Every structure is written in C-alpha cells, then in structure tokens.
Structure 1
Amino acid sequence: MQTPLQPGSSAIKQDQGWQVWWQLTRPHTLTAAFAPVLLGTALAMELTDIHIMLFLAMLAASLLIQAATNMFNEYYDYKRGLDTEDSIGIGGAIVRNGIKPGTVLGLALSLYGISILIGVYICMNTSWWLALIGLVSMLIGYLYTGGPWPIAYTPFGEIFAGFFMGLLIILISFYIQTGTVTTTSVLVSIPSFLLVGGILLSNNIRDFDGDKEFGRKTLAILVGRKNAINLLAGIFLVSYIWIAVLIIAGVISPWLSIVALSLPKAIKAVKGFIEGTNPLQMMPAMAATAQTNTIFGFLLSIGLIIGNLF
C-alpha cells in the first residue's frame, strides 16, 4: 500500500510537478481579481486615455494579493486542522503534496512584498492615499483566515470579499486612470460586489458540513443550506436586474446588455447546488459561480468598450 505524504514533507507528487505550485495560487479565484481591474479600466475609457503601465501594474498587484490571500488560507486551514488529505477542493498542497507550511507562508509574504513595490509605482504616478487603501486591503487579505478572529469564520466574509475584491478594485482601477471616482463608476461596481461575495458564498455552501463540524459561523451556516442557495440565486438575479435598470435609466450604454450572455452560467451554478448532495458533486456549481463573475465582468467591459467606440 502506498504511504501517503506527510504534512511538511519535502516530497512532491511527481505526476504534478510545477502544477502543485500553480494550484497553490488557486487559479480559479484569480479571475475575481482580473475582472474588476479590467472593468474599472474600461469605465475610465469614456473620460481619458488609458495609461497601459498603470493598468498592468494594478492588474499584477491585484493578482499577487489574491494569490497571497489564497496561500494564507492554505496555511491557516492546515494549522487549524481544516485541511486533510480527503478534503474536497483545490487547496491541500500541504497535506496532499507535501509542501512545507513555512514555505507556503513565506511565499505568501513574498508576494505581498512584490505587490507593495508595485504599489509604490502606482502611488508615485497617482496619489499616496492609495498606499493606505492598499495596506488596509492587504491586512484584510491576511485577516481573512489569519489572526485570532478570522473573517472567513464569520457571517461577514462575503461582505469583506465583495467590497475589497470587487467594488474597491474597480474604483481604484478607475481612479488611477482618471484621478476621480464618479457616481456611474460606483453604480456599475455594485454587481461585482455581489458576485465576488457570491463566489465565497458558493464555497461556503459546498463546505457547509465540514465548516459546521469545525465550528465556523459562516453566512451559509447562519441561514441554512437551502436559504444560502436561494441567497446565491438572489445575488445573480439582482446583478442582472441592476444592469438592466441602469440601461433603462440611461446611466450606461445599451451595449452593456451583452452581459445577459453570462446568464446560463448563473443558472448552471444554482441548479448544481440544488441537485448536489455532497461537496464533490457541488464542485462544478462552485466553478460556475466563479465563471459567472468572470464572464459577467468581461462582458460589461466589452459593452463599455463598444459603447465608447459607437
């Protein structure tokens, strides 16, 4: 019988190689950082010419902070005994692949360090007030699973994730290009706030039983599995209705109605959670939730770009 890898072992499964390190970043979540940066930049196109280097810097910093946050999650889930070899999900590099816990923590801190250097460049070309906002965002990323009272273990995780990884990234991306924040930029950011929070909610629905066993008080546990699924469906519904109302009110271009093309993914996500009975069966639904956010944001960006051209 094959001996399983022990946590902290230096060995890594040979059939995965570099993919172990790539999976450590939890790449399916990185789109939650990419889509808001693209959307905020697309919103700015109506007011100014785009500074490409600032766009790329903001994109890199957001991706690095998201990846580091995922690694903190990996590290503290292991430390608190939440991750085992049998855990369902993309995490588990420590317990399944033998990466040392200290290596994961060190890599996360290194990514934070690089993002700070990129942030200095952004501040030098815009405003040093962004340094404070960036540091607060990084602190929240750490406290999401780190510290004595992890945000992820409370009913407020969706709100923090939606605000810092959705709405705030859009507004910063918009600000570094235009030097201001407009009412329209805030209004268009609301669905991203909801959908990024929805990604976390979908994760908590999948992990409902395990989180409850370990005493986590997530929003899904607070309202119950069925109500959590209904809430996720409501998040999708409000996001699409919000864009429709903004179009009808003349706040944004009718071209942004292209976002409706992402609706099948949202429907797939809700159906998957309704029909799923265990974490493994709900994995495709969780992936569809993340994909809905990505496609939604990308299509909004395309609509804005086309609207500016015509």
Structure 2
Amino acid sequence: MAASSKRSRATTKRNTTRTSGNPAKRPIVEAAPITAGDWIGAARLRTLPLAVAPVIVGTGAAQLIDPELHWVIALACLAVAVLLQIGVNFTNDYSDGIRGTDAQRVGPARLTASGQVNPRTVLIIGLSFFALAALVGLAIVIRTGQWWMLAVGAVCIIAAWFYTGGKRPYGYLGLGEVFVFVFFGLVATLGTTWVQAFQLPQEAWLGAVAMGLFACAVLLANNLRDIDQDREVGKRTLTVMIGRRATQAIYTLFIVVPFLIAAFIALLYPIAWLGMLALLAGIPAILIVWTYRLPKELVVALGLTSLTALAYAGALYWAFVG
C-alpha cells in the first residue's frame, strides 16, 4: 500500500507542469496532444462578433450617405477586422505565454503556455494574420484611393502587437480598454464608413462609441475572470487596479450606455428600438458578472456580451437602411 502511494505521488509529480516562466525553456511533459480544436480555441471565436459588429454598423452608416451597398469594400473591411482580431488573439497567446502569465488561465486553450507548441510557431501564425489583414487593407486603399489610410492600418497593427508584446506592453499598464475602444470601436466603425461613403455622419460616430463600449465590456469580463492570476503574475490590468466591484459597475455601464445611444438614434430611426432586444443577451451577461462564483462562469458572460454587440449592430443596420 505504501509503495503504491509512493508510485502515485511520483507519477503526479512527473506529470505536473510548471505554472510560470518561458514555456520554451520548460522540460517536455506528458500531456494530451494539441488538437485542431485547441488551435481553433486559441483563435477565441467568442471575440469575433466584436470584429463583425463595427463593420455592420459602419456599412449601415455609409448607406445613409450613399444608399448603394458597396459590398466588395464592405466584405474587405470585414476581412480586415476578423483577420486583425485573430492575429491579436494569437500574438497575445504568444506574448502572455512566454511571460508565464497564461499558465493557469480559465477559458480557451493557451498554446504557448501549454509548453506543447513552439512559441515561435504561435508568433508566426499571429503575424501571418496581421500580414493578411495588411494585404486586404492595401487592396481597399488601392480601390478607394485613400492612401493616407495606410498609416492608419500600420498604427492598428503596431498597437495590436504592443498590447501584450514588447518590453512594456500597455495591456499590462491598465490601458487595454483604451486600445480596444479606439481601434475595435472608433477606427473599425468609422473606417468602414469612410471607405464606402467618404463622409462620417453623426450616426457613424454614435455607432462607433457603442461598438467601442461593447468591446471594452468584453475585455472587462475577460480580465475579471483572470483577476487573481493577473495579480499573482504582476499583470496590472484595469480590473486588477480598481478591483472586482468597480469592474462590475463599469462593465454594467458599458453595456447600458449603448442602449441609451440606441434610444437616441430611435428618435430619428424608429427601427432602432429593436436594438433593445439585444438586452435579452445583455441582461443575463450583467447578472452573471455580478453573481458569478467561479471564474469559468464569466466565459459565458463574455460570449453573451459579444452576441449582444452583434445583435445590437444588426438592429442599427436595419434602422439605417430600412
């Protein structure tokens, strides 16, 4: 019996992975092999509605100026947004993984932190998505003649990398929400409108603010889920800085304000009232954020928040073109 217990402890010790440090320097351990599902999980599909929603709103705002749907440009904008989002997700996996801050995360697979995937491979995949986004963006610039937008695209990619990459990533300094609001809200929405209509009506600005707030809400839910681990490894997200209660309050505000914007838009475009139906997903998300007991419950809140943004965007599009 004692010998069996010793063998069990030895086996457990042999199969236990380290929780910090560069995965590339860890000893190889026995574990379930990485599957296609793990790669898909690393792309974090729950976040992709946040890439789609601004393009929908921006396209609808453009059609207020030019009723014709420029579907080729709209699809190209969608491709840029999705490719950038996936690129950010993979480069975050790489950067957080080599710092050892992803070792005990809840949620999607962390390829780099698992120690079973070469960190360089994850980095190359992330940069490849950035490159594809740049190529599609270049095509949009050539098609529209808006050469100055090359600078905007370059800034987007640089900002995406330094979110968690580099020596002093701003995502570790409580500035992640600023990046998300500006690039996944304002730039994504207004850029989509501009390349299709060459004007920025107030509807585009209102929609862009709403999209930015939803994106920030998703980030807050994500960081609330990881607050304990982030504290341990010194990752100073806004959530770590202000604590759980303040994060829950700001998250709620970021969900509610877009619906106040929708109510204002509905004064001119009554169909926008249908955007309130998105609260069917938004309210449960808020309740989960305030009442969760286990971090994994916030994965559901994150997904519901993304779906709220997508449904809201669809309602605004209908309001603008209906």
What SS is found at the alignment partner of 1:155? coil
Q: Alpha-carbon deviation of 1:302?
A: 2.8
Whether 1:147 aligns to 2:163 is no
Deviation, structure 1 residue 183: 2.4
The equivalent of 1:217 in structure 2 is 236
Q: 1:238 aligns with which of 257, 260, 263?
A: 257
Letter in structure 1 aligned against 2:276: A
Aligned to 1:169: 188
Aligned Cα root-mean-square deviation (Å):
2.2
For 2:318, the equivalent position in structure 1 comes to 302
Aligned with 1:216: secondary structure?
Answer: coil
Aligned with 1:94 (options 108, 112, 125): 112
TM-score when scaled to structure 1? 0.90
SS at match of 2:65: coil
Contact 1:20 1:97 in 2 (8 A): no
* Superposed displacement of residue 118, structure 1: 1.1
Alignment equivalent of 1:59, drawn from 58, 63, 78? 78
- Correspondence for 2:202 among 183, 186, 197: 183
- In 2 relative to 1, CA 198–20 (structure 1 residues): closer, same or farther, beyond 3 Å? same
How many angstroms apart in 1 are the aligned matches of 2:205 and 2:259? 16
The count of residues paired between Structure 1 and Structure 2 equals: 301
Q: Which of 265, 279, 285 matches 2:301?
A: 285
Match of 1:147, SS state, is coil
Gaps of 5+ in 2: 1-10
Q: Which residue pairs with 1:263 in the alignment?
A: 279
The TM-score with structure 2 as length reference comes to: 0.87
**Using the alignment, how far apart are the partners of 2:17 and 2:48 within structure 1?**
28
Secondary structure in 2 matching 1:45: helix
Contact map agreement 1:163 1:193 (CA 8 A) in 2: yes
Change (3 A) 1:118 1:224: same
Residue pair 2:98, 2:113 contacting (<8 A) in 1 also: no
- Percent of aligned pairs sharing the same letter: 28
Superposed CA deviations along residues 62-86 of structure 1, whole A, max 9, x for unmatched, are 11111111111000111110122x4
Match in the other structure for 2:122: 104
Secondary structure of 1:279's partner? coil
How far residue 226 of structure 1 moved from its aligned partner, in angstroms, is: 0.8
Per-residue deviation, 1:11:
9.8
Residue of structure 1 equivalent to 2:7? none
**Structure 2 counterpart SS, 1:278:** coil
Give 1:4 deviation, angstroms.
6.8
What is the CA-CA distance between 1:95 and the residue it aligns to?
Answer: 3.3
1:117 maps to which residue? 135
Which one-letter code corresponds to 1:297 in the other structure? A
Selected match of 1:134 from 153, 157, 182: 153
